[in-house]
Amino acid sequence: MNIRKIRFIEPGNPPYRPSLKNLYVYDKYIRTPSVGLLTLATIAKREVYDTYMYSESISKIKWDDVLDADIVFIGIFTFSANRGYELAEYIRKHSKAKVVMGGLHASMNYPEAVNYCDYVLLGEGDESVIELICALRDGKPLDFPGLAYLENGKCVTTGQREPPHDIDTIPDRNLLYRYKKMAGHNTIWGQVHASRGCPHNCDYCALVRHFGRKVRTRSVENVLEDIRSCIKFHDEGHHRLFKLLWITDDNFFADREWAISVLKAIIDSDIDYHFTIQARYEVGFDDEMLELLKKAGFEELALGIEFLEDTAFEQYHKKSTYQEILRSVKNIQSHGMRTRGLFIVGADNHEIGVGKRLAEFVIENNIQGVLIQSMYFVPGTPVYDTHKDKLIDNDWSKCIGNVVHYPEKISPYDLQKEIITASRMIYSRKRLLDAILHKRGSERLLFVGEYFWQKSVRADLKKELPRLKAACEKKGIPIKNP
């Protein structure tokens, strides 16, 4: 097979089903193209020079360019799976390109994904992407691990492959169409992914199942080079009001010695920038780490708080307690950094009032901002296996914060309204005015931006209420807060 041209596509998640040529974005304000898929495109370009990428969080797809490719790789998360399948079917119908799907959802749910493409890459594709390109080009057997495909109508897999240990690839951000032009936008943050894997085993976490529990890190020098490259890409030729780089690791602090080495290297370098990072609550007990984070330019930590009830922590095997979360938040703030809360509602013990309690916790403890999502269920996770019979349907596009299942003690409709209530309380007009009058610098800008973002989020959540009401009526589930 002659392979002269390769294209990568990151699908968006449209709220409706328009034509394929429309512009989609994940979010009306914050746009974050996939670092992982861009990394794979960078690796593929080493083998095939004419390699390029499109992300629907950044731009429209140029179909005349894509349909002329020999291989098209499509990376999907659960929320973008439906759109990814739609794109794959369109490409197979209108071109001769081999369509390859990968990413977290396709990898963990390959028996489904394989029906929409020629091949599915399982797990991380740093090594298998090159093996697939070479095998197709040279006409060799597709017998290397990490591949799934249909053979005589049946799903065949060559088995999972070992995760790559060499992950020192710096993604070439110039390979993403229109990314440089859009990089000056204040809501497009630079991203660097420095490590993979997490040693914990929370039932709802798909990333542990995808990347594994063994933590793998990039070299300190490579991380610093990537940070410099990312800052230059986003700032050169642009005049952004808010300059922030997001370290996107799932658990940056899992390898403590390495994390300290990275932070010290940033401090000792000429890098003078603002950073944000997500973290488990345990980092709030590590005073040395917190001091280094502050010195390195980290302004806030996004804590995966998830729940506020010890029973929920226990049920989903998250090693945490309410009191530990509270103590962590206070200690992080005492070191001069903000805390952001990442929350999940829809645990089996959640009832009417969960939204109000969440909002009161955020306000009383001066949490800077929140991301509130209903429990979602990625195939391949323990929580999917225990709750798949409770799913309302298999419309993956709803897995962007909406309620997608029948909880134990609250109706899906009421739970959706609890999320809306929490958002409205946290981002009230009174708190907006207080932020404008009393907060400073980036803290003020962030709250104002999030106030309008949350208004948009609530509008989208409200649009789903009729669907959830119908789901309740179908099951005969009473609604307490119509």
**Residue 277's CATH number:** 3.20.20.70
Q: Which residue has the higher pLDDT, 288 or 449?
A: 288
- Full domain range(s) for residue 66: 6-157
Would the pLDDT of 81 be above 70?
yes
Listed residue (294, 301, 300) closest to 266, CA to CA: 294
Exposure of 158 by Cβ count < 10 A (0-12 exposed, 13-18 middle, 19+ buried)? middle
In this structure, the answer to whether residues 320 and 357 fall within a common structural domain is no
Give the C-alpha separation, 204 to 352, whole Å. Answer: 22
Of 141, 157, 173, the residue at which a domain comes to its end is: 157
pLDDT of residue 200: 87
pLDDT of residue 18: 46
Output the domain CATH number for residue 98.
Answer: 3.40.50.280
In this structure, the answer to whether residues 362 and 479 fall within a common structural domain is yes
Does the residue 401 lie in any domain?
yes
In this structure, the answer to whether residues 23 and 47 fall within a common structural domain is yes
In this structure, the answer to whether residues 360 and 472 fall within a common structural domain is yes
Does the residue 178 lie in any domain?
no
pLDDT of residue 185: 72
Does the residue 166 lie in any domain?
no
pLDDT in tens, 316-327: 999 899 999 999
In this structure, the answer to whether residues 48 and 116 fall within a common structural domain is yes
pLDDT of residue 346: 96
| 363 pLDDT tier (thresholds 50, 70, 90) | very high
Does the residue 177 lie in any domain?
no
pLDDT of residue 16: 45
pLDDT in tens, 379-402: 989 999 999 999 999 899 999 899
Q: Identify the three-state secondary structure at position 224.
A: helix
311-317: long-range pairs with CB below 8 Å, 24+? 311/349, 312/347, 312/348, 312/349, 312/350, 315/203, 315/347, 315/348, 315/349, 316/202, 316/203, 316/204, 316/347, 316/383, 317/201, 317/202, 317/203, 317/382
Q: Which residue has the higher pLDDT, 158 or 23?
A: 158
Does the residue 338 lie in any domain?
no
The amino acid at residue 226 is D
DSSP lists the bridge partners of residue 148 as 120, 157
Exposure of 289 by Cβ count < 10 A (0-12 exposed, 13-18 middle, 19+ buried)? buried
Of 279, 305, 333, the residue at which a domain comes to its end is: 333
pLDDT of residue 47: 96
Would the pLDDT of 108 be above 80?
yes
The predicted model scores a pTM of: 0.94
Count of domains forming the chain: 3
In this structure, the answer to whether residues 38 and 110 fall within a common structural domain is yes
In this structure, the answer to whether residues 47 and 135 fall within a common structural domain is yes
| % of the chain at pLDDT higher than 90 | 81
In this structure, the answer to whether residues 356 and 424 fall within a common structural domain is yes
Would the pLDDT of 20 be above 80?
no
In this structure, the answer to whether residues 35 and 93 fall within a common structural domain is yes
Average pLDDT, integer, range 292-296 = 97
Q: Which residue has the higher pLDDT, 20 or 91?
A: 91
- Work out whether strand 154-157 and strand 147-151 pair parallel, antiparallel, or are unpaired: antiparallel
The CA-atom distances, in angstroms, between 481 and each of 6, 336, 406, 411, 421 are: 52, 40, 16, 10, 11
pLDDT of residue 14: 63
In this structure, the answer to whether residues 305 and 228 fall within a common structural domain is yes
In this structure, the answer to whether residues 107 and 224 fall within a common structural domain is no
- Buried b / exposed e along 87-115 (16+ C-beta atoms within 10 A): bbebbbeebebbbbbbbbbbbbbbebbbe
How many CB atoms sit inside 10 A of residue 335's CB? 15
Do residues 318 and 306 touch, judged by C-beta distance below 8 A?
yes
Give the C-alpha separation, 58 to 33, whole Å. Answer: 7
Does the residue 275 lie in any domain?
yes
- Work out whether strand 369-374 and strand 338-345 pair parallel, antiparallel, or are unpaired: parallel
Helix, strand, coil distribution of the chain in percent, nearest 5: 45, 15, 40
Listed residue (14, 28, 35) closest to 83, CA to CA: 14
Does the residue 168 lie in any domain?
no
Would the pLDDT of 27 be above 80?
no
The amino acid at residue 151 is E
Would the pLDDT of 187 be above 80?
no
pLDDT in tens, 387-441: 999 999 989 999 989 999 999 999 999 999 999 999 999 999 999 999 999 988 8
Would the pLDDT of 124 be above 90?
yes
Would the pLDDT of 240 be above 90?
no
**Residue 277 φ/ψ region, left for φ over 0, alpha for ψ in the -120 to 50 degree band, beta for the rest:** beta
Average pLDDT, integer, range 336-356 = 96
In this structure, the answer to whether residues 312 and 199 fall within a common structural domain is yes
pLDDT-wise least confident of 1-15, 97-111, 216-230, 283-297: 1-15
- Work out whether strand 216-217 and strand 245-247 pair parallel, antiparallel, or are unpaired: unpaired
Give the C-alpha separation, 129 to 37, whole Å. Answer: 11
Mean pLDDT, the chain, integer = 92
Average pLDDT, integer, range 8-21 = 69
pLDDT in tens, 277-291: 999 999 999 999 999
DSSP lists the bridge partners of residue 343 as 306, 372
Do residues 53 and 9 touch, judged by C-beta distance below 8 A?
yes
Average pLDDT, integer, range 203-228 = 91
Does the residue 456 lie in any domain?
yes
Listed residue (121, 192, 472) closest to 113, CA to CA: 121
Do residues 214 and 197 touch, judged by C-beta distance below 8 A?
yes
Of 139, 157, 175, the residue at which a domain comes to its end is: 157
pLDDT of residue 181: 86
DSSP lists the bridge partners of residue 342 as 371
